[in-house]
Every structure is written in C-alpha cells, then in structure tokens.
Structure 1
Amino acid sequence: MIEAEWWEYDSADEMADAVAGDIGFIIESAIEARNEALLALPGGNTPLPIFARLAEAKLPWKRVTIVPGDERLVPMDNELSNVRSIARAFLPAGARVIPITADIADYKLAGNSADARLQDLHWPPDLVWLGMGSDGHTASIFNGPDMDDALNAPKARRAVGVMPEPLPAEAPVPRVTLTRSAILSARTILITIKGDEKRALLEQAIEAGHSSKLPIGRVLAEAEQPIDIHWCP
C-alpha cells in the first residue's frame, strides 16, 4: 500500500509558500548532514511560482546541485527545455544547475548520455520532486513502448531515453527521464498537482497501485518511503 500524505491549500500562492518552505528545510538538513544537497526538479508551469519563492530563500545555494528529473530533447535555450526554467530560477541564487541532455538526435543514445552524467553525481538525491500530467505520466514516464524501460531499468541505471506515444501536443518531442528506481532512491519524494481532475486521477492511481494503468501509479507502487502530495484547486 502506498503511504501518501496529502497537503491541501486554498490557492497556488499558498501552496508555493508551503512547498518552498519544505524544500528549503530539505536543503538545510542535507547540507547539515552531508555538506551538500542534490535535487531533481520537474518541468511544466506548476513549479514556476514555487521556484521563484525558493530561489528567494537565504540558503547556502553554492552547496546545492540541481538536475531536471526529465528533459525534452530540444536545445537548452528552447522554451520547451526544463533545465532552462530551472537555470533561470536558481543560477542567479548561486546553485549548480546541471543539464542532463546533450546534442544527440537518437533518444536512446541521449538516455545513455544522461545516465552517464547522473552517474557522476553523489547519489541518492535528497529530493525528487514530481508533477503529473493529465494522462497520468510523471517525470517523462509515459504510456508507450518505452515505459517498460523506464519502470524496469536496473537499479544502477539512473536515466533512459523515451518516446511518448502519442507525442504530447504541447511538447511533441522525445525525452530523457529518471528511471523508476532512480526516482524511488530519493531520500524524499514530493508531488505537486493542481485541480480536481488531477487529484481524482492521482487518488485512483494510488488506490490501484501495482495494477494501475497510469505511469505514476506504477512508479509509486514500489515506493518504500512516504510520499508528500501537495494539492491546490
């Protein structure tokens, strides 16, 4: 049974304040324990106000390394790039932001390259922060022919290349993503979602667990740590 704790807010602003505070505490605790912090952050629009609040916090950012939990295979200056929004928020604060993709057209080879880059980091992450799409995908683990690669990669594997099927209309490009085992290795897993439809979908995925047809349900079903879910309308 997935152990999930829901945190509910009246507005996106209230959620942004709370989540930024929680992540700030995670960073401070990691640095106190290990003199560094490693975070894997999501793409999309929901995190942006949280990024802004968090980047304003007086934290020892020079000891913080941030990677995207997934990335689209586009140039880093493309608006679809996840690392672009992360870098815009946190590089000015002094954090180290590491892209996980290279200029490689073949998405499978791009996944190998991303895995190699992540192997150079001190693992496990202190935080993997996930979002969820309206189709139930999380990170870039989508339904499709590559989902099994992402779900069942060896534990040592940190990233794979994936081609969603069908390609999402808002970003019709191949991706690289953290594997399920890489996500679940994190010391803390946090999810942010907005809206009643996504809440109902996530509740359904959690209840179904291993039998879920949704990627997020399949990922979370293997979690051994409690999951913090932050939701607002």
Structure 2
Amino acid sequence: MSIAIIDGAADGAIAAWVAECLEAALARAGGQDIAITIPGGSSPFPILAELVRGGVDWSRIAVWPGDDRIVPEDHPASNVGRIRALLEPAGARIVPLAEGLVPPHFALAWLGMGADGHIASLFPNTDPRPDDPQRLRRLTPDPLPPEAPFDRFSLTIPALLDSDALLFVARGTDKRALFAAAAAGEHDLPVARLLGAARQPVTCFA
C-alpha cells in the first residue's frame, strides 16, 4: 500500500486525476460496468462539475454515496439527491443507500474526512472496525452535527476497502496534518483505522 499526499491541487487537476482513474478502470473492465463511491458535503461537487464536462462514459458507471442522511432525496441534506441531479443527466446510474443493499467492488472509493477524523458517516463514536461483518450500517453520529441532525446510512470500512484505489480530498493545514498522522499510525481515529488496513494505493489531495 502506498500513500501519496498532493498539496495545493485545483479542482480541475483533481477532476483530471479522477477522470484518468475512471478511464483506466473502464478499460480494465473490458466492456463491463464499474462502480464508484463518492462523498457528500460541499467539497466534491465543484470537482464533479468539472468531471462531467470531460469525456468519461458515465453510462457504464454506477455511483454510490459513501454515506447519506436518512431524509427524502429532495431534502437539502440528501447526498444522493445532489449526486443524482449532477451525474444522472450525464448518464450515470445512481444507487441510493438502503437497508439490505450489498455494496459491490468499487473501482474507486472517494472519501472526505472530518476534523474529528471521521470518514463517510463513520464517526469516532460508532467505533468502526476493519473486520466489521456488515458492509452497510445505519448509524447515529454523536454529537449530531447541528447542520445535519439526522441518522445516516454509511458504508463500513470493509466496504470502502473493497476497492481498487482510495481517494481523499482533505484540504486545509489541520486536515492535512490529521491525515498525515493517520497515515503514520499516530492515532486511532476512523481514518487511521481505514488506512491501517488498506492494501490499495491511496491518494490524498490536501
């Protein structure tokens, strides 16, 4: 497992990196569809907007949110609603998280990271484990973020690790330091648990 931290990349450069990754995965798939998982929140959407202007064949890509608030899709807090509005017109198949779904193997697992080291909705209070027998869980963050006080569905660490590559976008000095400490095994926050068990390439745009 290798970890690369790339500082100061603009949205367009990250979008180009993702496009190259997806095109390589589609080529390896030999005509079969692929699946990816992407984060919610505000930071990925300008990058995704750049990405959809490129030449990626979205008709062969199933897109899963890494986590979602349990609200209707037309609610402002819905990750899948925002993802659908942007990527479905480009041809992607959007997969909302729901009880009983079994996540597939992902060509790319793209994640954000909170200032508390959470990934997806695997907050420290949920005690996420690399050996979790479940691939998808319903969780209640504690404390609940005041801007989104909802229960969540989240992919678990094993589901995220069932991927060819891991991508983080964790901008800012504090997040970069937290990620670097996780990569070095200097703490036990959720991001560190994921990285400690990862065997695929990891790229972090900081």
The two structures have a TM-score, normalised by structure 2, of 0.92
**RMSD across aligned positions (CA):** 1.6
Q: Which residue matches 1:70?
A: 67
The one of 138, 141, 164 equivalent to 1:161 is 138
Structure 1 CA distance, aligned partners of 2:156 and 2:147?
A: 23
Matched, 1:39 2:15: no
Structure 1 CA distance, aligned partners of 2:188 and 2:24?
A: 36
- 1:137–1:215: 8 Å Cα contact kept in structure 2? yes
Q: In the superposition, relative to structure 1, how do residues 152 and 164 fare at CA in structure 2: closer, same or farther (>3 Å)?
A: farther
Q: Which residue matches 1:185?
A: 162
Q: Shift in Å at residue 130 of structure 1?
A: 0.5
The one of 199, 202, 206 equivalent to 1:224 is 199
Q: Secondary structure at the match of 2:102?
A: helix
Matched, 1:133 2:114: yes
Q: Which residue matches 1:17?
A: 12
Matches within 5 A, 1:90-101: 90-101=87-98
Instruction: Name whichever of 32-41 and 175-184 sits farther off.
Output: 32-41
Letter in 1 for 2:203: D
Structure 2 CA distance, aligned partners of 1:221 and 1:153?
A: 14
Point out where structure 2 has 5 or more consecutive residues left out of the alignment: none
Letter in 2 for 1:152: D
- 2:63–2:92: 8 Å Cα contact kept in structure 1? yes
Deviations 1:135-188 (Å, cap 9, x if unpaired)? 1101111011x324x54312xx32111111111122111111111111111001
Matched, 1:48 2:45: yes
Q: Which residue matches 2:2?
A: 3
Q: Which residue matches 1:107?
A: none
Detail structure 1 runs of 4+ shifted over 3 Å in the superposition.
Answer: none
Deviations 1:44-101 (Å, cap 9, x if unpaired)? 1111110100111122111111010111111111111111121111111111111113
- 2:164–2:201: 8 Å Cα contact kept in structure 1? no
Instruction: Name whichever of 198-207 and 178-187 sits farther off.
Output: 198-207
Q: Which residue matches 1:82?
A: 79
Matches within 5 A, 1:110-125: 113=99, 116-119=100-103, 123-125=104-106
Structure 1 CA distance, aligned partners of 2:191 and 2:140?
A: 17
Identity within the alignment, %: 35
Structure 2 CA distance, aligned partners of 1:76 and 1:143?
A: 26
Structure 1 CA distance, aligned partners of 2:20 and 2:144?
A: 37
- 1:164–1:174: 8 Å Cα contact kept in structure 2? yes
Structure 2 CA distance, aligned partners of 1:51 and 1:177?
A: 21
Structure 2 CA distance, aligned partners of 1:15 and 1:4?
A: 19
- Paired residue total: 204
- 1:138–1:216: 8 Å Cα contact kept in structure 2? yes
Q: Secondary structure at the match of 1:194?
A: coil
Q: Secondary structure at the match of 1:117?
A: coil
Structure 2 CA distance, aligned partners of 1:178 and 1:218?
A: 14
Structure 1 CA distance, aligned partners of 2:70 and 2:136?
A: 14
- 1:124–1:186: 8 Å Cα contact kept in structure 2? yes
